[in-house]
Amino acid sequence: MSSTLNLKIPKTLTEIKAISKSKKIKVTNGATTLVVCKHSKLSALKKDLKEHLQTFQLKRITDEAPFSYQFETTKGILALVVLPEENIELLDHEGLLDPSGYGLARDFVGEKIIQLEAFNLPKLNLHGYHLEYDELLGSLLGIELARYDYKKSTSKIEFTCSYDGDLPTDALKEILSNALAIGNGINLARFLVDVPPNEKRPETYAAGIKALFEKSKSMQVTIWDDKRLKKEGMGLMLGVGGGSVELPRLVHLKYRPAKARETAPVAFVGKGITFDTGGLNLKPGNSMRLMKKDMGGSACLVGLASWLEASRSDIPCDIYLALAENSVDAHSFRPSDVLTAKNGMTVEIDNTDAEGRLVMGDALCVASSAKGADKPQFLIDVATLTGAIKVGLGSDIGGLFSNSDDLAFILQSCSQIAGDPLWRMPLMKSQREKLKSDVADIANSCSGFGGAIRAAMFLQEFTGDIPWAHLDIYAWNEGTNSFYRNSGGSGQGVQCLAQFISQL
């Protein structure tokens, strides 16, 4: 087993050196041209396509669905994606779950890219026809996300990008840079989830993260081993990870850019259970099958860290990753054990399969106790914490819990813009009451409905007086999203949090 996880992910968009301005749609031999157009510009586009398409082909392009077309021309394939217009009159849930222009472009283009790859053509030109900034950015992201394949079996394609519209050259440069930064961050998070668990045990995973940023001048990586965890009194992490051949690690990524804004940092905490057997409360086989993804919260934050550095964000951030393997041996923690957290709180173990909130509790203690200039203005945790949230919201919408209405609103608004949806759930004191213990300050779980709320109430005990939000995510694409090549890590949370940092 390697002592370091290789986190070098291919960056597809680096092949696009610049986005050229061009009013002419070019179709060349041996290449595919993909034109992306807003529905409101469709009539004008059809006039510009007359030199490439026959009359019968142009008649196929209508104002109704489908919004994706593909034509054989005398020179090559010409494909078209038409982005539907937002209908304000049909907005529901105050628009917070409606697709954004960015999200629509990303998903439609990603789906089309996968369809076009069946032709095995070596060249592709993306032509943005009078697109807005976010729509062109989303189109490029569609390429980047669709081209990702963990097995790296996709054929190499030469990309170019042209644009006809009002965006200035500086904006086009920025779009390309942003697309590469966020695309690489998302695919890095996907890759980490996809890596098999025998290759990403806590020590290996931590070492891989450190190696990823070893040449960085803005990101400092510190790893606490089991001896340091014991010294710091982090009994919850040690208890969960005690049954594994590799003991737990806490990874701290401290982002302090050279031109940091004079503001308090944002602190993030990620769940990094590299594999979850359920412990002595062993999961059934079907439930254990995908538990390599139980570190999806930490993967999201490693992807975010990559974006922070690549985008040169001026917001200082601290990222804490609680890495452990919930395994089974003679040293595994037991139901009815009492563990002591870093903040001194005692926790009775009701169920060893409620382990994520335990490691998160200790890491939240570290993040919330930072002093002076390092005291965070916000504390946000990301975790594949409960199956209950998926029952309520499905696999594509993350559950959002927060003790701050302002923070919750900002995060939910950012999630809509980024096409990475969250939905706010309640924090109910009545559910906290159900976690009472006769022998400790709190129990880690109990039976009955409301499991996602109880998990959030447990985490809140370790957040101090800082505005806090908890993102309960799934981190996995089940193969139902047509803009992803296959099932695997989804990168959930990266786009939302990048949007959040961008608007601070």
**Cβ proximity of 155 and 492 under 8 Å:** no
Nearest to 495, CA basis, from 138, 30, 57:
138
**Cβ proximity of 364 and 381 under 8 Å:** yes
357 is catalytic: yes
H-run or E-run covering 42: helix 42-48
Q: How many C-beta neighbours within 10 Å does residue 388 have?
A: 17
What is the token pair recorded at 375?
């005291």
Spatial strand order in the sheet of 442-443: 338-340, 346-348, 442-443
What is the token pair recorded at 10?
């291919």
Place of tokens 């400092």: 220
Which of 17-31, 126-140, 267-281, 341-355 is predicted with the least confidence, judged by mean pLDDT? 17-31
Place of tokens 């999201």: 300
Q: How many C-beta neighbours within 10 Å does residue 111 have?
A: 18
User: Would you list the DSSP string of 117-128?
Assistant: GGG--SEEEEEE
What is the token pair recorded at 4?
């370091």
What is the token pair recorded at 231?
């010294």
Q: Which distant-in-sequence residues (6+ apart) come within 8 Å of 264 by Cβ?
A: 316, 373, 375, 376, 377
| β-bridge partners, 401 | 470
Q: Give SS3 for 55.
A: helix
High-pLDDT (> 90) share of the chain, % = 87
Q: Which of 46, 123, 254, 283 is catalytic?
A: 283
Average of per-residue pLDDT values in the chain: 94
Instruction: State the DSSP code for 347.
Output: E
* CA angle (503, 372, 441) in 5-degree steps: 95
Which of 116-130, 175-189, 214-228, 242-256 is predicted with the least confidence, judged by mean pLDDT? 116-130
Q: Which distant-in-sequence residues (6+ apart) come within 8 Å of 390 by Cβ?
A: 474
Task: Say yes or no to pLDDT of 10 above 80.
Answer: no
**Cβ proximity of 270 and 383 under 8 Å:** yes
Task: Say yes or no to pLDDT of 154 above 70.
Answer: no
**Cβ proximity of 381 and 297 under 8 Å:** yes
Which of 83-92, 294-303, 382-391 is predicted with the least confidence, judged by mean pLDDT? 83-92
Q: Cα–Cα distances in Å, from 453 out to 354, 449, 468?
A: 13, 9, 15
Question: 200-502, what's its fold?
Answer: Aminopeptidase (3.40.630)
Please tell me the predicted confidence (pLDDT) of residue 11. 78
Which of 77-91, 213-227, 261-275 is predicted with the least confidence, judged by mean pLDDT? 77-91
Domain extents in the chain: 12-189, 200-502
Task: Say yes or no to pLDDT of 431 above 60.
Answer: yes
Q: Does pTM top 0.85 for this prediction?
A: yes
CA-CA distance, 351 to 279, in Å (whole number)? 9
Q: Which of 201, 293, 357, 390 is catalytic?
A: 357
CA-CA distance, 306 to 298, in Å (whole number)? 12
Task: Say yes or no to pLDDT of 1 above 50.
Answer: no
CA-CA distance, 46 to 33, in Å (whole number)? 15
Which of 22-31, 101-110, 149-158, 209-218 is predicted with the least confidence, judged by mean pLDDT? 149-158
Task: Say yes or no to pLDDT of 73 above 50.
Answer: yes
Please tell me the predicted confidence (pLDDT) of residue 107. 95
Q: Give SS3 for 380.
A: strand
CA-CA distance, 501 to 504, in Å (whole number)? 5
429 is catalytic: no
Please tell me the predicted confidence (pLDDT) of residue 155. 65
Q: What is the mean pLDDT of residues 470-475?
A: 98
CA-CA distance, 495 to 103, in Å (whole number)? 10
What is the token pair recorded at 13?
């968009």
**Cβ proximity of 110 and 118 under 8 Å:** no
Please tell me the predicted confidence (pLDDT) of residue 307. 98
CA-CA distance, 391 to 117, in Å (whole number)? 35
Place of tokens 């009701």: 350
| Homologous superfamily (CATH) for 12-189 | Leucine Aminopeptidase, subunit E, domain 1 (3.40.220.10)
